[in-house]
Amino acid sequence: MSASTEFDTARQQQDLASGPDVSAFVPANAGAGKTHVLVGRVIRLLLNGVQPERILCLTYTRAAAAEMSERLFDKLSGWIARDDRELTELIRRDVAQSDMEIHNLDEARRLFTRALETPGGLKVQTIHAFCERLLQRFPIEAGVVPGFHVLSTTDSRDLMALARAQVLTRDDDRIREAVSTITPFANEQAFSGLLHELQTHASKLLAAFGSEETFPRLTARLNHLFGLTGEETPLDIAQDFAARLDKTALQHAATLMATDAAVTNTKQAALITQILAAQSQQDVLSIARQIALTGKGQPKGDTALVTKKLDERHPECREALLSMRELLLTALESINALLIVHSTNALVYLGLEILATFNKLKQNLAAYDFEDLIHQTVDLLHHNADAAWVLYKLDGGLDHILIDEAQDTSPDQWQIINALTEEFFAGEGARDGSRRTMFAVGDRKQSIYSFQGADPKQFERQAGLYEALISNAGETYREVPLEHSFRSSEVVLRAVDLVFKRDDASRGVTSEVQPEVRHLPIRKGEQGLVEIWDLERGQSDDDVQHWAPKSGEIADPPHLVMARRIAATIAQWTQARSPEMLKQDRPVMPSDILILVRQRSYLMAAIVRALKEAGVPVAGADRLKLLDHIAIQDLMALAQVCILPQDDLNLAGVLKSPLFTHDDGVTRFDDDNDLFGLAHKRETGSIRDRLENAAEAGKPYTSACDQLARWRYLAARSSVFDFYSAVLSRDGGRRALLGGLGPEAADPIDAFLQLALEYEQQHAPSLAGFLAWLEATQADIRRDMDQAGGEVRVMTVHGAKGLEAPIVFLPDTCSAPETRKIDSVLFTDGNIPIWRLKSDYATNVTDALKAKAFGGLMEEYNRLLYVAMTRARYRLYVCGFVKPKSKTAQAEAPSASWYAMMHAALTGGETPLLQQHVDSEGFCTWRAGEPQVSDDKESSSGDAAQASAPPDWAHVKARSVVAPSRWLAPSRMDAAGETDEGWSSETALSPLAPRADTRFRRGQLVHRLLQSLPELADEQREPAARRFLAANGVPEHERDATVSEIMALFTDERFAGVFSAAARPEVSIAAMIDLPDQDRLGLTGQIDRLLVEPDRVLVVDFKTNRPPPDSVNDVPGIYLRQLAAYAKALERVYPGRAIECALLWTDAPALMPVPNAMLDEAWQGSAITTV
């Protein structure tokens, strides 16, 4: 199928999906145009007469909501000034391919205004924003504080810390008992993590177990789950174990094993003898562990219980020990279960107390966090006695609900959507025969936010639920898969499909509903490339003798080698004489490149650093922990020194920062020449004292001492924000930090100042308090990476969701999910929480839950790979690094890793997609497609090089240019400005004059038309002018007069050339000019309209905010001097040509030529204002 046919088919599917008359569920591949379809559906609803306030669009993030709104309003605003033919074509192109019935084109032009100005308006918002508005509308029914506000993440964290402190310091025996139970298994940091996990499920836990009456249910359910009666104790289990041992069989085995020559058997015999002689049941259990289990608590192998030779002669020995091992494992399982039940009870009790206190603190502040918004709305719509009333009121205002990125919607959020949409198709839901629809678009393959509750299975379950609900209501339901990709090249899509044909890669990506991954390319025949690089393999730990003295060069870690290879490749593409070509018409640029990693780690930092070292512009990490940035650490160290001058460590650190220099203002403090001398052998006194003494002795430290003293004085007398503002702005701290650390420090510095301002608004101004608060908040900043800004972007795959780039690198492909990433608190299918403790306390129940959770991690790992691969438009590069485990082992990527799956899928089989290539240095790659390199004509032959030899003038040294001491702005030629003596008060427009605003607005509109209309053909100018004036509210009678006057200007033979395509609008100019009786000055300005002809140059300057004078003799002197300055500059730019000038009064409109004699006279009397 040809590319054009594929395009037509894709548009037909999009048209079907965006049809406004039926409900639809749209599973869509990456790059299939999901947002385009959603926006198209909204526009089609509006075109069909649906009121904007009856449409609700729900998105996953604020950025997605903003993008959807921007796309929607961009399309609608583009319709305003179109004629009927153009508008009809635009509607069919932008909204649907089919021949739609265009009811009313005038109404279509008004959609933009109607969508903006309708009370209630078109709602495009996140689910959290919708919930906030709903709760604010029904606070009494929802049981929330009227007029509440939403807590920021930082404020919520602070409030949780306060709640935790209040509970843990409470004089309560039950709290102390719970703490003592938890402490052996969790330190302070681990407890914070446990509390965060409980907070994620706070609403369920509080509802199920959050009272004195309901909490005992937890113990009963846990006991039932682990097969316990609730009466057991560890001692009872140990006694039962000891009683069930076959002591006779063990005694017989010990006798036989003790006489055997094998050490294993004699050791085991000695331990069995100790068991038989032990008086304590706990000792019996402890010794049995040594016999039957390894040091890590795993069952010993059969030959570790008894040697093979003895087993062959006396198999009863092994049978006795195996029987004991089975009894032991059963006993330990029960003991571990008891510990888990007891610890889980303590943790959940303590967690619920903290969560309840947290909720009370929020209520006292009339505040809720983002999770509260969801849970409160679920309660309002499903569990509240007033739910029917609320839904009735909502039902009267909504007819159409559209959901974007539906795969990222959590089950709780689906409950809210279901409550709304069920009313559409139940009972009297279809009001007055009105058609009501729901629409959801998403892609289960891109569900990568499980940590926020997203469940791809729920996405497919919802499709089934809606199909049944809508069909039972007698309405039409449509499921429209979008398989075409408008984004990626054909070879990239082939690679994606091949990778996810593998069983291991498809797990979690495909399902029974969507059994395969298939992409249909729109970009057939376009250049594309997929390339896998050989792994970078480092030294094993066996190869490195850490205790040996260093000699010669030490091999770099493999991640650094790979990072430098990537940086060198990009530098070669963008900096070489023969640049790499992205397409035939342009070379690769840094902004074309996106480097994706799984997580922010040392690898991301290494790649950013390597790119900087290679001279490649790079945007830095997409997210940064504020306190980890060295600029912020310098600013905090400065504050510590100002608070405590004897703080030698912070003073030494801040002296090394760009904030301080030697007296020359350039030389920085360094360790060897400065700090060592200040710090070494200081038995008494501080570094500050030594610094001041050194300055008095002639060292170049005076400016640093003075600066430090000024900042100490300022810190003692200023607020936090004022202190840092003075340091960074008045005293040049920002300039110094950016100069020393690079422009990427600007974002952290700005965020730091914003936090200082926020702190002052909520707390007493205290520098020490601010530092403590900052340490506690652990704030981070996110950079907007949607636009590349001329730099390479380095991001996580999660951060790149929704983005794309011509070239994508995947360097983080050899690390796979680890079990330590699994939550410590796991939930059963019945929502029972279980704290699994450490691996030493594993049970069959916790092992099963852990395996299920790890399977979920691996499934999301695969979906993350899908997202990463489908960000690429033209090229995809796959690389990775590993470290061998030993000298003899060949380092390879783990079998479950991205690298292994992609390498096997793309280089294996009878007809592999990628073919192997080896470069001149022996580096191996596998590639499909070929990169383009520009033709280097200069180096292709000696003749070509000779032909391109530079002319003689290129060898002459350029004349030095002295920069002017003053620059002249023509528009500021007179200090009097608009009060020029030539401008009388009688002719100025009074602010109180009738229709003043209208006349001023009319002048602006005429100015815009005179700029834009010349770009159109003659026959298009008048219709376009009328549409523009109509769209801007100009009455019809005024419209006719204005258009007539403008067209008269265009047909004036004297100045027709000014409004021709040959003339240029908004022309910037700069020149050196000689002033009357003054020094030479530089002139810089902008000419409204300029026409350059072979024998003359015509300048037209627009004047918008004044009525035209009756005669050129009445023109204010300031305007004449401005034109004269332009004329003098143009005489130097175009010597020998006649310079003509005119004023265009847009209020009339009228064109007024100005004689050269008047300009010369005005120039001789110039009074200059410089900038």
Quick: pLDDT tens for 1078-1098: 666 778 888 889 999 989 999
Token representation of residue 104 = 């009313």
pLDDT at residue 995, rounded to an integer: 41
First to last CA, the chain: 64
pLDDT at residue 1105, rounded to an integer: 57
729/797 same-domain check: no
pLDDT at residue 788, rounded to an integer: 59
Residue 836 belongs to some domain of the structure: no
Q: Return the half-sphere exposure (C-beta side, CA atoms, 13 A cut-off) of residue 115.
A: 27
Alpha helix stretches (DSSP H) within 280-410: 281-292, 302-305, 308-313, 315-364, 370-378, 387-395
| pLDDT above 70 for 968 | no
922/983 same-domain check: no
| pLDDT above 50 for 102 | yes
Write the DSSP assignment of 788-854 as a string of letters. -TTSEEEEETTTTTT--EEEEEE---S----GGGS-SEEE-TT--EEE---GGG--HHHHHHHHHHH
611/635 same-domain check: no
Average pLDDT over residues 472-495: 91
Residue 505 belongs to some domain of the structure: no
pLDDT class of 884 with cuts at 50, 70, 90: confident
Beta-ladder partners of 597: 796
Average pLDDT of the chain to the nearest whole number: 84
Average pLDDT over residues 118-147: 87
Least confident of 463-467, 919-923, 1050-1054, 1070-1074: 1050-1054
Beta-ladder partners of 624: 781
pLDDT at residue 983, rounded to an integer: 34
101/200 same-domain check: no
Average pLDDT over residues 768-784: 80
Residue with tokens 């174990």: 241
| pLDDT above 60 for 1169 | no
* CA 57/CA 115 separation, integer angstroms: 13
| pLDDT above 80 for 217 | yes
| pLDDT above 90 for 640 | yes
760/802 same-domain check: no
Convert the pLDDT of each residue in 327-373 to its tens digit: 999 999 999 999 999 999 999 999 999 999 999 999 999 999 998 99
| pLDDT above 80 for 856 | yes
| pLDDT above 80 for 939 | no
SS3 (DSSP) at 619: strand
Taking the CA atoms of 333, 337, 343 and 344 in sequence, report the sign of the dihedral they define.
Answer: positive
Write the DSSP assignment of 986-1049 as a string of letters. TTSPPTTSTTHHHHHHHHHHHHHHHHHGGGS-HHHHHHHHHHHHHHTT--HHHHHHHHHHHHHH
Residue 837 belongs to some domain of the structure: no
How many helices and strands, by DSSP H and E, does the chain display? 46, 33
pLDDT at residue 999, rounded to an integer: 47
* CA 111/CA 103 separation, integer angstroms: 13
Q: Which residue has the higher pLDDT, 954 or 403?
A: 403
Kindly report the number of other CB atoms within 10 A of residue 364's CB atom.
10
- Tell me if 126 sits within 8 A of 59, measured CB to CB: yes
Nearest CA among 999, 1029, 1021 for reference residue 1106: 999
CATH number at residue 399: 3.40.50.300
Average pLDDT over residues 567-596: 86
> Alpha carbon 63 to chain centroid distance?
9
Average pLDDT over residues 147-171: 89
137/270 same-domain check: no
Residue 671 belongs to some domain of the structure: yes
One-letter-per-residue 3-state SS of 862-905: HHHHHHHHCCEEEEEEECCEECCCCCCCCCCCCCCCHHHHHHHH
Token representation of residue 772 = 């403590």
pLDDT class of 962 with cuts at 50, 70, 90: low
Burial (0-12, 13-18, 19+ Cβ within 10 Å), 930: exposed
Write the DSSP assignment of 724-784 as a string of letters. HHIIIIIT-HHHHHHHHH-GGGHHHHHHHHHHHHHHHHHS---HHHHHHHHHHH--EEE--
| pLDDT above 90 for 320 | yes
Taking the CA atoms of 122, 125, 131 and 135 in sequence, report the sign of the dihedral they define.
Answer: negative
The amino acid at 890: Q
* CA 447/CA 839 separation, integer angstroms: 30
* CA 1113/CA 1102 separation, integer angstroms: 18
pLDDT at residue 1168, rounded to an integer: 53
CATH number at residue 659: 1.10.486.10
| pLDDT above 70 for 2 | no
Residue with tokens 């402490």: 183
pLDDT at residue 333, rounded to an integer: 93
pLDDT at residue 1167, rounded to an integer: 55
Antiparallel, parallel or unpaired: β 437-442 and 400-403: parallel
Choosing from 897, 928, 959, the residue where a domain stops is 928
350/230 same-domain check: yes
| pLDDT above 90 for 112 | no
| pLDDT above 70 for 274 | yes
Nearest CA among 427, 438, 509, 516 for reference residue 472: 427
Nearest CA among 599, 620, 776 for reference residue 153: 776
Token representation of residue 1047 = 């067209």
Convert the pLDDT of each residue in 680-711 to its tens digit: 877 777 888 889 888 998 889 999 999 999 99
Residue 948 belongs to some domain of the structure: no
pLDDT class of 58 with cuts at 50, 70, 90: very high
639/724 same-domain check: yes
Nearest CA among 260, 249, 326, 317 for reference residue 293: 326
* CA 18/CA 24 separation, integer angstroms: 8
How many structural domains does the chain have? 5
Antiparallel, parallel or unpaired: β 1096-1103 and 1138-1145: parallel
| pLDDT above 50 for 303 | yes
One-letter-per-residue 3-state SS of 904-955: HHHHCCCCCCCEEEECCCCCEEEEECCCEECCCHHHHCHHHHHHCCCCHHHH
Antiparallel, parallel or unpaired: β 1064-1074 and 593-597: unpaired
Write the DSSP assignment of 666-703 as a string of letters. SPPP-IIIIIHHHHTT-SSS-HHHHHHHHHHTT-S-HH
Reported pTM: 0.75
431/447 same-domain check: yes
Cα angle vertex 609, ends 604, 615, to 5°? 130
Convert the pLDDT of each residue in 363-409 to its tens digit: 999 999 998 999 999 999 988 888 888 887 876 678 899 999 999 98
pLDDT class of 428 with cuts at 50, 70, 90: low
* CA 1122/CA 1162 separation, integer angstroms: 9
| pLDDT above 50 for 980 | no
- Tell me if 607 sits within 8 A of 880, measured CB to CB: no
pLDDT at residue 785, rounded to an integer: 65
Kindly report the number of other CB atoms within 10 A of residue 367's CB atom.
18
pLDDT class of 1029 with cuts at 50, 70, 90: confident
| pLDDT above 80 for 1070 | yes
Q: What separation in angstroms does the CA of 983 have from each of 124, 977, 1153?
A: 51, 10, 18
Kindly report the number of other CB atoms within 10 A of residue 768's CB atom.
14
Average pLDDT over residues 32-37: 90
pLDDT at residue 943, rounded to an integer: 36
Average pLDDT over residues 204-221: 84
The 8-class DSSP code of residue 379 comes to I
176/310 same-domain check: yes
pLDDT at residue 92, rounded to an integer: 79
pLDDT class of 938 with cuts at 50, 70, 90: very low
Residue 995 belongs to some domain of the structure: yes
Q: List b or e across 1085-1119, with b for residues whose CB sees 16 or more CB atoms inside 10 angstroms.
A: bebbbbbbeeeebbbbbbbbebebbeeeeebbbbb
SS3 (DSSP) at 595: strand
Taking the CA atoms of 75, 79, 82 and 86 in sequence, report the sign of the dihedral they define.
Answer: positive
Convert the pLDDT of each residue in 800-849 to its tens digit: 888 899 999 999 999 888 888 899 999 998 889 999 998 889 999 999 99
Kindly report the number of other CB atoms within 10 A of residue 261's CB atom.
9
| pLDDT above 60 for 942 | no
CATH number at residue 1007: 3.90.320.10
pLDDT at residue 996, rounded to an integer: 41
pLDDT at residue 397, rounded to an integer: 75
577/668 same-domain check: no
The amino acid at 1007: H
- Tell me if 43 sits within 8 A of 75, measured CB to CB: yes
Residue 835 belongs to some domain of the structure: no
Convert the pLDDT of each residue in 897-923 to its tens digit: 999 999 999 998 888 999 999 988 889
Convert the pLDDT of each residue in 983-1022 to its tens digit: 333 333 333 334 444 445 777 788 888 888 887 877 888 8
pLDDT at residue 287, rounded to an integer: 93
Q: Which residue has the higher pLDDT, 891 or 264?
A: 264
* CA 554/CA 110 separation, integer angstroms: 70
568/705 same-domain check: no
Choosing from 898, 928, 958, the residue where a domain stops is 928
- Which residues form the domain of 795? 533-541+555-622+790-828+849-928
| pLDDT above 70 for 759 | yes
Token representation of residue 998 = 């209208």
User: In the chain, pLDDT over 90 holds for what percent of residues?
Assistant: 39
Show Cβ contacts of residue 495 under 8 Å, excluding neighbours closer than 6 positions: 530, 869, 876, 902, 905, 906, 913, 928
Residue 318 belongs to some domain of the structure: yes
Show Cβ contacts of residue 91 under 8 Å, excluding neighbours closer than 6 positions: 47, 79, 100, 102, 108
Choosing from 299, 330, 364, the residue where a domain stops is 364
Length in residues, the chain: 1171
pLDDT at residue 505, rounded to an integer: 94
pLDDT at residue 674, rounded to an integer: 86
